[in-house]
């Protein structure tokens, strides 16, 4: 039996272009899919800097892409995902993709993001013409590729020809690709697609909603998030569509690349460590981290860390508001790396100035420092208001830092709370992020730190947690088969 052919369609892929977890997943899942027998390739825009350091690349041809009445041409650059044998096709169009960032500039979202989205989708459909490889399944990732299922469904085919199947993965439902209704004209889709059962959402063009309505199968990045998005409070306005497609919606927990996130072989750490050397290794990493962050080295106090974008979703604003009282009632230190909302940046900077011996804040992002925070801290904070999956808590556990997190999304699926799972605990889950819950969690963390045996027990549980991509890859392989079955039953599907 031949391998299923799958084309990943994404605006980003680590390490070629990345803003967050989406790129990490698109970079890590394909090699795992190859290992379970899936013939997988990736198509992604050629963003500024994507080719830096790549030795192997070639021009595979010229794409023809129609956006409204405009015919665009883009070069197709073929390369390999670094460190793997996964083929990546990059869409080279300087007008649309040669920019300092992927989604937004200094003045906010790029005004032509709708056009850029359809360029990605149309390029993916034109790809087989150039390379002689036809996907059985197109796997679209998030809103910028979400119009792809509809574009596939709209293609006129000879009678009896089975269309390619489509899978849409929702990495974060908050980001939907919402535009003025006039933007629908650039799609070249039938006018009937702009309706309540398709792309129309309160009078606007909503790309993610269109993808949900048209895809053969839909996945989210954790089982709990798949349940949450079907509720009115966590659906970000798409409750009806997600409930309607519930039978085709699957939650698959993200894994992590255990080779890329290996504290025993991480060159960013001053003292790499394994499970056998974790106690001495983390002690040395903490000592070095304290020096790097200009925090007094206080081995008798727990050091808590956070690596996060500073946006409302992540809940760190609640922590900033409660931190003075938390420090008054509990003795600990905090190291935070992040950027985002200027008001949150200012709040944490003020706290660092107010408590220089207890709080360190580094505005920005630094991959090496992030890894040293995972390795050098005792606990890792993720008070997210919602969290589709969360990768940072998995990285932290891999490096022996116990997560303290809100009970939402993938945090519930990855963290075993001490109270509920005393024999396999690897972290602490909060019922909410109100001040009282934060106080309880910080007090519990301080108590765990004071009990060395309990700390070591939980730390080892965290480091031994199975977090590879093998099981998720097998689950996605099943989803592809289900999607192909649905496409053969509904060869001319317009929408669900």
- Residue 490 has a pLDDT of 63
Contact 460, 275 (CB under 8 A): yes
Angle in degrees, CA 165, 169, 170, rounded to 5 = 145
Residue 463 sits at φ, ψ, to 5 deg, of -70, -30
DSSP string for residues in 481-492: HHHHHHHHHSTT
Going by the DSSP 8-state scheme, the letter that residue 63 receives in this structure is E
Residue range 419-441, pLDDT digits in tens:
999 999 999 999 999 999 999 99
- C-alpha distances in angstroms, 84 versus 14, 15, 59, 147? 12, 12, 20, 29
Longest dimension (CA), the chain: 74
- d(CA 180, CA 204) in angstroms, rounded, equals 5
Q: How crowded is residue 172: how many other Cβ atoms within 10 Å of its Cβ?
A: 22
pLDDT at 489: 64
Q: What pLDDT is recorded for position 491?
A: 52
73 backbone dihedrals φ, ψ, rounded to 5°:
-120, 135
8 Å CB contact between 17 and 44: yes
Residue whose entry in the numeric block shows the structure tokens 């809100």: 406
SS3 category, 462: helix
| Chain mean position to CA 275 | 27
Q: Which of 256, 274, 261, 258 minimizes the C-alpha distance to 414?
A: 256
Write out residues in the chain with pLDDT < 50, as ranges. Answer: 494-496
Q: What tokens appear for 213 in the block?
A: 């309505």
- The DSSP secondary structure of 318-372, one letter per residue, reads HHHHHHHHHHHHS--EEEEEEEE-HHHHHHHHHHHHH-TTTEEEEES--HHHHHH
Residues 103-133: tens digit of each pLDDT: 998 889 999 999 999 999 999 999 999 999 9
Helix (H, G, I), strand (E, B) or coil at 181: helix
- Quote the pLDDT of residue 141: 99
CA atoms of 312 and 316, how far apart (whole Å) = 7
Query: Domains along the chain?
Result: 5-255+470-489 (3.40.50.2000), 278-464 (3.40.50.2000)
pLDDT at 195: 95
Strand boundaries in 13-158, DSSP class E = 39-45, 57-67, 70-80, 87-92, 104-105, 108-109, 137-141
Report the C-alpha gap between 143 and 214 in whole angstroms.
13
């Amino acid at each position: 039996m031949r391998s299923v052919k799958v084309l990943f369609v994404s605006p980003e892929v680590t390490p070629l272009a990345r803003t967050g977890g989406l790129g990490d997943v698109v970079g890590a899942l394909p090699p795992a899919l190859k290992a379970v027998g899936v013939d997988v390739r990736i198509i992604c825009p050629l963003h500024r800097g994507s080719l830096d350091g790549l030795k192997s690349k070639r021009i595979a041809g010229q794409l023809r892409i129609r956006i409204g009445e405009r015919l665009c041409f883009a070069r197709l650059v073929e390369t390999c995902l670094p460190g793997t044998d996964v083929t990546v096709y990059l869409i080279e169009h300087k007008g649309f993709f040669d920019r300092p960032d992927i989604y937004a500039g200094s003045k906010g979202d790029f005004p032509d993001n709708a056009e850029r989205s359809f360029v990605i989708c149309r390029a993916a459909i034109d790809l087989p013409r150039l390379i002689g490889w036809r996907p059985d399944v197109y796997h679209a990732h998030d809103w910028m590729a979400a119009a792809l299922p509809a574009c596939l469904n709209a293609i006129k085919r000879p009678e009896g020809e089975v269309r390619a199947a489509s899978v849409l993965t929702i990495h974060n439902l908050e980001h939907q690709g919402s535009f003025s209704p006039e933007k629908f004209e650039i799609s070249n889709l039938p006018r009937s697609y702009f309706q309540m059962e398709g792309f129309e959402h309160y009078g606007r063009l909503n790309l993610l909603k269109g993808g949900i309505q048209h895809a053969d199968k839909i996945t989210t990045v954790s089982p709990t998030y798949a349940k949450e998005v079907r509720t009115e409070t966590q659906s970000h306005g798409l409750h009806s569509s997600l409930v309607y497609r519930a039978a085709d919606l699957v939650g698959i927990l993200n894994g992590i690349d255990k080779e890329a996130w290996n504290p025993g072989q991480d060159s960013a750490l001053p003292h790499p460590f394994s499970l056998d050397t974790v106690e001495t290794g983390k002690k040395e990493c903490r000592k070095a981290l304290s020096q790097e962050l200009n925090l007094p080295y206080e081995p008798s106090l727990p050091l808590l860390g956070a690596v996060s974008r500073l946006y409302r979703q992540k809940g760190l604003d609640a922590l900033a508001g409660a931190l003075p009282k938390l420090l008054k009632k509990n003795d600990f230190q905090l190291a935070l790396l992040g950027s985002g909302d200027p008001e949150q940046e200012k709040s944490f900077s003020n706290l660092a100035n107010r408590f220089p011996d207890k709080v360190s804040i580094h505005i920005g992002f630094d991959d090496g420092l992030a890894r040293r925070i995972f390795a050098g801290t005792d606990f890792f904070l993720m008070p997210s208001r919602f969290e589709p999956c969360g990768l940072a808590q998995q990285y932290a556990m891999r490096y022996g830092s116990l997560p303290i997190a809100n009970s939402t999304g993938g945090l519930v699926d990855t963290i075993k709370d001490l109270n509920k799972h005393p024999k396999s605990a690897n972290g602490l889950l909060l019922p909410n992020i109100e001040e009282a819950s934060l106080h309880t969690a910080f007090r519990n963390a301080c108590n765990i730190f004071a009990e060395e045996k309990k700390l070591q027990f939980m730390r080892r549980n965290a480091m031994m947690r199975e977090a590879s991509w093998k099981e998720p890859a097998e689950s996605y392989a099943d989803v592809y088969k289900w999607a192909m079955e649905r496409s053969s039953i509904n060869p001319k599907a317009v929408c669900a």
